[in-house]
Amino acid sequence: MSTEPCTPSSASGLADACAAALGRLRTTTPLVHSITNHVASGFTANVLLALGASPAMVDVIGESGPFAGIASGVLVNLGTPSGDYPAAMREAAQAADAAGTPWVLDPVAVGSLPVRTPLAAELVELRPRIVRGNASEIIAVAGAGAGGRGVDASASVDAAADAALALARRTGGVVAVSGPVDLITDGRAVVRVSGGTELLTRVTGAGCALGAVMAAFAGTPAPGLVTASATTADGEAGAVVSGVPGSALIAAVASSVAYAVASERAAARAGGPGTFATFFLDELAALQTGDLSDAARIVIAA
């Protein structure tokens, strides 16, 4: 067991690292602070709960920052940046950056919309550990295009590869492009994860919840870290896990593989998008760590 997370150089090594990450997620129950849009917030919380993480949506000015400091991971999703949202997002991203809490930016529909587009440009400077979006959104955030028509992906994943690499080098983090084959890069390695099902595009918030899952995996401690015992104010014993979070690349790949496996199993017995969404939650909860060791769906390019 290594003490410093790094990127396995083989697909099977990466798959094994993903499996181990799921095991640690289940043990540590990372607290995922999600500032996300009201369309996807319920499903996002259910996805996190099904997988084994603990969701909290604290999108209140004055609370969002302090909460980001104690969360295991943070998601900032730009889906509905109205009212207090932008200020709460800035707070959370700044606090996460200051505290070293890994945070994920999901630049929903960024491109030409005049509130979220400059907001994304501002937030991306706060070193998101992972930026997750569809191809159009990643191209837009990277400054390489004018984006899509909204929340749809009109550009292809491969068309966003250069933008993803450039953006990852700029943030020093990982960029994940969602599509029929997901592309994930830390600016050096390019990992492609295949699988999943088209039904994921028929469930609102499925992509948004994937960003939250990435925040959960990114907030899962790296292997070999100390687990300290603590006593709470009211006398109960509890466990506090601290230490540097795991590799963002492994976190993004593990999320993508978990989604692929669970969604395929759900699709195999679903009668349509309604039952699919329901079964998908069941399958996320039923995932075994070994289910993520399947290297067949992972391809690593130099």
Considering only residues 265 through 284, tell me which ones interact with a second copy, judged by CB under 8 A: 270-275, 277-284
194 sits near a second copy (criterion: CB under 8 A)? no
Token pair for 146:
């004018």
Question: Cβ–Cβ contacts within 10 Å for residue 242, how many?
Answer: 11
The distance of closest approach from Cβ of residue 68 to a second copy in the complex, given in angstroms and rounded to an integer, is 12
49 sits near a second copy (criterion: CB under 8 A)? yes
- Contact window for a second copy (CB under 8 A) among 65-73, 126-134, 184-192, 209-217: 65-73
Token pair for 266:
């759900």
Residues of 89-102 as b/e, b for ≥16 C-beta within 10 angstroms?
bbbbbbbbbeeebb
Q: Whose Cβ is closer to a second copy: residue 163's or residue 222's? A: 163
227 sits near a second copy (criterion: CB under 8 A)? no
- Order the strands of the 182-185 sheet from edge to edge: 54-56, 31-35, 73-77, 103-106, 130-134, 174-178, 182-185, 190-193, 298-301
115 sits near a second copy (criterion: CB under 8 A)? yes
Q: Indicate which single residue of 81, 219, 245, 246 sits in contact with a second copy (rule: CB under 8 A).
A: 81
The distance of closest approach from Cβ of residue 44 to a second copy in the complex, given in angstroms and rounded to an integer, is 8
- What does the alpha-carbon distance between residue 33 and residue 181 come to, in Å, rounded to a whole number? 27
Q: Is 103 exposed, middle or buried (0-12, 13-18, 19+ CB in 10 A)?
A: buried
259 sits near a second copy (criterion: CB under 8 A)? no
The distance of closest approach from Cβ of residue 257 to a second copy in the complex, given in angstroms and rounded to an integer, is 19
Q: Indicate which single residue of 28, 46, 77, 255 sits in contact with a second copy (rule: CB under 8 A).
A: 46
Q: In the range 162-191, which residues lie near a second copy by CB under 8 A?
A: none
Q: Whose Cβ is closer to a second copy: residue 118's or residue 172's? A: 118
The distance of closest approach from Cβ of residue 72 to a second copy in the complex, given in angstroms and rounded to an integer, is 10
- The count of C-alpha atoms lying within 13 angstroms of the C-alpha of 273, restricted to the half-sphere facing its C-beta, is 9
- Helical spans, DSSP H, in 142-197: 161-171
What is the SS3 assignment for 81?
A: coil
60 sits near a second copy (criterion: CB under 8 A)? yes
**Mask of contacts with a second copy, 143-162, x by CB under 8 A?**
-xxx-xxxxx-xxx--x---
Q: What's the gap between Cα 99 and its chain centre?
A: 18
Q: Indicate which single residue of 26, 61, 169, 299 sits in contact with a second copy (rule: CB under 8 A).
A: 61
